[in-house]
Amino acid sequence: MQLNNKVKKILLVDDDIDLLEQNKLLLESKGIEVFTAESAEEGLEKFKEVKPDAAIIDLIMEQHDSGFVLCHKLKKTDIGKQIPIYILTSATYETGFKFSATTMEEQKWIKCDGIINKPVILDELLSKLNKFYE
């Protein structure tokens, strides 16, 4: 699948340096410019600096809700309101966590534009991005 020409820069925030590297590689193979951050704090700085066309944020970083908190902050910015922000997670009720972001209600509460389950399936991600920028 090819990506529309509106998504040129993506910000990835993940504290697992291996997954970060792999997802970066996947997206770069589609010609996207990828910026990475290894913590929520760094993610916020990079976001302001890079002004990406989309952001993918890991849920559990320093804290169990680091991803949510960052997402909230980004959605308060002008750019954040215009671009898709996805939460990356493998945490669900099934894996024993008290919170899962699988229902619409939960996603609304998080204010994100969607949940991406690990591992990232590139085609699914691309179709999500295409749909957002239709």
Partner 1 sequence: MDNNYPKILLVEDEKGLRIGTERLLTRKGHSVKSAENGTDGIKLGLAEDFDIALIDYKMPDVDGLQVLKEIKSKKPSTVCFIVTAYASYETAIEATRLGAFNYILKPFTPEELLHQIEKGFKQRKLLLEAEQLRIEREKNLLEIAHEKSRLNTIIESISSGVLLINREGKVVYFNKACLNKLHLEKLEIEDYILDKLPIQITELVNKIFNNHTVHKSYTTEVEIIPNGELIIDATCSPVPHPDGTFAGVVVVLKNITGLKKIEQLKSQFVSMVAHEMKTPLAAVLGYLDILVDPNMNVTQEKRTEYLNRSALRLKSSLDLVNDLLDISRMEMSTKKREIENIRINEIINNSLDVLELEINKKSLTIEKKYVENLPELKIDRDEVTKIINNLISNAVKYNNVNGKITISLNIENNFIILIVEDTGIGINADDQAKLFQQFFRAKNKQTRAISGTGLGLSIAKKLIEANHGKISVESVYKQGTKFIVHFPFK
**40, 66 in Cβ contact below 8 A?**
yes
> According to CB under 8 A, which one of 36, 39, 100, 107 is a site residue for partner 1?
39
- Compute how many residues bind partner 1; rule: CB under 8 A: 23
CB-based contacts of 100-105 (< 8 A; 24+ apart in sequence): 101/59
2 touches partner 1 (CB under 8 A): no
Beta bridge partners of 34: 10
Minimum CB distance to partner 1, residue 51 (Å)? 24
Q: Which stretch binds partner 1 (CB under 8 A): 76-84, 87-95, 107-115, 126-134?
A: 87-95
| Sign of the torsion angle spanned by Cα atoms 34, 39, 44, 49 | negative
Please say which residue, 103 or 119, places its beta carbon nearer to partner 1: 119
How many CB atoms are located within 10 Å of the residue 89 CB?
Answer: 21
In the complex, which residues of this chain contact partner 1 (CB under 8 A)? 15-19, 21-22, 25-26, 29, 38-39, 61-63, 90-91, 94-97, 118-119
